[in-house]
Structure formats: C-alpha cells, structure tokens
Amino acid sequence: MAPSKVEDGVPQVSKHTGEQEPLISVSNNGTESKKLDPIRKAATPSAPLTAWDTPGEAAFDFRSDTITTPIASMLLAIQNSTLKDDVYHEDQTTKDFEGYIAQRTSHEDALFVMSGTMGNQLALRSHLTQIPHSVLCDYRAHILTAEAGGTASLSQALVSGAVPSNGIYLTLEDIQANVVLGDEIHGCPTKVISLENTLGGTIMPLDEVRKISVFAREHGIKLHMDGARLWNAVVEGAGSLEDYCRECDSVSLCFSKGLGAPIGSMLVGKKEFIHRARWVRKAIGGGLRQMGVLTSAAKVAVDENFGTDQYGANGKLQVSHAVAKKIAKIWTDLGGSLSKPTETNMVWLDLKKAGITNPAFAALGKKHSLKVLSGRLVVHYQISDEAVDALEVLMKEIISRKDTAPKEKTVGKVYYG
C-alpha cells in the first residue's frame, strides 16, 4: 500500500490503489510531517515522533525494497520480546518464530539468519560436503552475481550460471542441458541446483519448480531456493508459500525487503540440515545472543506485510504490485519501453532506448527528490503517492528530450539489493 498523507489521524484513500492508506505521514519533499500517527496517535513533547513512525525518505526511494523502514508495531513487538541467549538456544521468541516459519513453509526446522546472503551461503555450505562440487543457477542469480563470491570462498564450489532459453526463467530443459552428472574426472559435478524466485521481479512458475524438483531428487542433487522475494510470487497468485517451499530441500526467505523488518532472513529445511547450518552460522560469527529483538520484529513483518494466510491475501505487500503496474503503464503510455514485463514489484524501464544513462537518470531523480539507481524501479509498500506523481513528471521529462539526449554509454555493473 502506498502510504500518503494523514489528515488529522483520519485514514486517506490512495488515489493510485483506491485503498485506505496506512496512517503513515510523509511530506512530498521527503521530510517527516508532524501529522498524527496511527499507533502513537500524536507526537507530544515527551514522546516526539521517531524514525519508527514514518517511512521518511523511503517513501521516495525506488532503488530497492531493502530500503523499507521498520514501523512502530515492530518496535512494540521488540519491547515485548524475550531477551534470552539464542546461542544457548534459550530465546523463546526466536524459537517460536523459527517454529512458526517452519510450519508455514512445510519444513521440519528453520534458522533465523542475519541476511539473505547469509541464508543462501549457509544453505550452500551445509548442502555441499566434498569437493569437487558445483552449484547450478540462473546466470543472473544473486548467489552468482552479488554475494561477493561467497560460494567460492566459503564452499569451494564452482557456480555455473545457465542462460534461460526462454529468456525469462530456467526450465527443466535448461537444467538438463547444463547439469554435470557422474564422476568423469574433467567435470565438476552439480550437487546443488539453486533457483531464485522472484528473480528481478519475475516469477518462476510452480510447475517448473516441481519438474526441476523431481529431476533433482532423481539425481541426488539438492534443490535450494533463494526465496528472498518468494513472498511476492505468492501474493501474485503463483502458488502458496507451502506449495513452493515443499518442493525444495532448503529455502531462504527475507524479512528485510518488501516486508520491512529491520534485519533478518530465515533458512528452512530438514532438522539435520538446519543443525549443520546453525553450526556454520556460529563459525562465521552469526550466532547472536538476545536474538528476540530481531525475531519479534520479523514476525510482525510477516504477519502484517505478507499476511497470515498462505497466499498473503491480507498483507500490505500485494498493493506494491498494483502500484508497480500503474507505474509501468504511465511509462509505456508516454511511449517508453520496458526491458521486462512487470509481474510483481519491479518495473524495468528501458533507459537505453530512452537515451539516458543510469547516472543521468539518478541525477534527474535527485532533481525530483526521488532516489533511483537504474532502470530498475522497485516499488514497496511505503512508496508514497507523491513519489509516483514525481516519477511521472520525471518520465515526461525523459521522453520529451529523448531525441536530443546524449548517447553516452553506461559503464560498469550495477549491483542490486
């Protein structure tokens, strides 16, 4: 849901989604407004509004959904969390939350970790036991392109990136064409297939995951899913959380992207696998003491922003998809092109065709009080109506100067969160 203005504590209706706004207050230049807050009701001299009460600049930030800020209900949950030591495995809030996610994903056990990267890397390290071994994934996968080469350093594994033949997502045929089986000594056998869902906002269909899962099991290959944004595929109706997760030996799920938790991801899998991952987590300094301060907030992120049912039908996340589609339409109606269809919360503007480089686009964004990084615009539930309006003005400016724009090249890779 795109939050907008709060008029005297009365919920407003978003002109972009037609839905009631959450009572979060932001002004259109990104500064915090002194209007009323739903949970705190009013700022008082003894209890002034804090950063927890408003998305602040996140309401104007399209760079990533990692930008989402934790909210007051999370702070309240933190206040009510248990404060025991999780390395001793004594923190009840954490144990309950891990049990809750294990149950919601149809897995035996779960482990809270600091980040999506940590979840993926612990999963790979725990599945991979003996060199030579390799991981097969999409050539654009986060584990290959954006985890600082962690699979090489932590697991001594070769990561092999396959190009989807349909140009969209990996199919069983792509996996079969790229997998390394057997023990011929030139090869580096595939021991894990890692699927990313969503990948750049694109959904991997459940049927395809099922086919790859059957193939992986037949060949004794572990199937991991980087489900940092699996929530988005689910709320879009691609399948339930359980449907997707049960096909995989492990899944990592992020709470700190579109769901807005301050920190954390969850790794799910079998008991023995989670025990090993807990061990590796300790080895890399990821065993935390009073973990409840993180897991309590992450639970609120799941229940409020994804939702309490298996399809995320009653959370706020789904509204970000409607806003993304609206933004995509504004751009294409103006004559702009998209480099990918808008399936979930990401809009991919084809900036090259529009004659503008990433840095020039980012600079133009700044002029309009927006944060953008590249043609990838990520919509999250804290994006404001004002930000969408400003984006439209920015888009008009790009399209109107299209023919005269300098044709300089974009040099260097953009790393996405």
Ligand X SMILES: Cc1ncc(COP(=O)(O)O)c(C=O)c1O
Residues contributing to the site for ligand X (CB under 6 A): 66, 115-117, 120, 142, 196, 226, 228, 254, 256, 417
CB of 18 to ligand X, least distance (A): 29
Dihedral of CA 313/316/320/323: which sign? positive
Q: State the minimum distance, in angstroms, from the CB of residue 331 to ligand X.
A: 22
Cβ distance to ligand X smaller for residue 9 or 149: 149
| Phi-psi sector, 37: left (phi>0), alpha (psi -120 to 50), beta | beta
Q: How far is the CB of 66 from ligand X (least distance, A)?
A: 5
Report the nearest approach of ligand X to the CB of residue 167 (Å): 19
Question: Rounded to the nearest whole angstrom, what is the least distance from the CB of residue 299 to ligand X in the complex?
Answer: 17
Please identify, using beta-carbon distances, which residue of 146 and 206 lies nearer to ligand X. Answer: 146
Q: Which is nearer to ligand X, 17 or 120 (CB)?
A: 120
Q: In angstroms, rounded to a whole number, what is the distance separating the alpha carbons of residues 242 and 344?
A: 19
- Tell me if 377 sits within 8 A of 62, measured CB to CB: yes
Name the DSSP letter for residue 139: T
Q: Which is nearer to ligand X, 233 or 356 (CB)?
A: 233
Write down the residue that tokens 């907008």 correspond to: 4
- Minimum CB separation of residue 367 from ligand X in Å reads 27
Residue 286 and residue 104 in contact, taking contact as beta carbons nearer than 8 Å: no
CB of 256 to ligand X, least distance (A): 6
Distance CA 208, CA 331 (A): 31
Q: Shortest approach of ligand X to residue 5 CB, angstroms? A: 30
Q: How far apart are CA 43 and CA 180, in angstroms?
A: 61
Residue whose CB is less far from ligand X, 228 or 266? 228
> ∠ CA 318-36-7 to the nearest 5 degrees?
75
Query: Which H or E element spans position 408?
Result: none
Q: Which residues contact 356 (CB under 8 A, 6 or more apart)?
A: 364, 398, 405
In sequence order, the 6+-apart residues with CB closer than 8 A to the CB of 23 are: 6, 9, 11, 36, 37, 38
Closest CB to ligand X among residues 63, 278: 63
Gap between the Cα atoms of 238 and 312, Å rounded? 11
Residue 148 or 393: which CB sits closer to ligand X?
Answer: 148
Q: Which one, 127 or 142, has the nearer CB to ligand X?
A: 142
Q: How far is the CB of 400 from ligand X (least distance, A)?
A: 33
CA–CA distance, 12 with 101 (Å, rounded to integer): 33
Nearest residue to ligand X by CB is 116
Transcribe 189-255 into DSSP letters: -EEEEEEESSBTTBPPPHHHHHHHHHHHHHTT-EEEEEETTHHHHHHTTS--HHHHHHTSSEEEEES
Nearer to ligand X, 142 or 321 (CB): 142
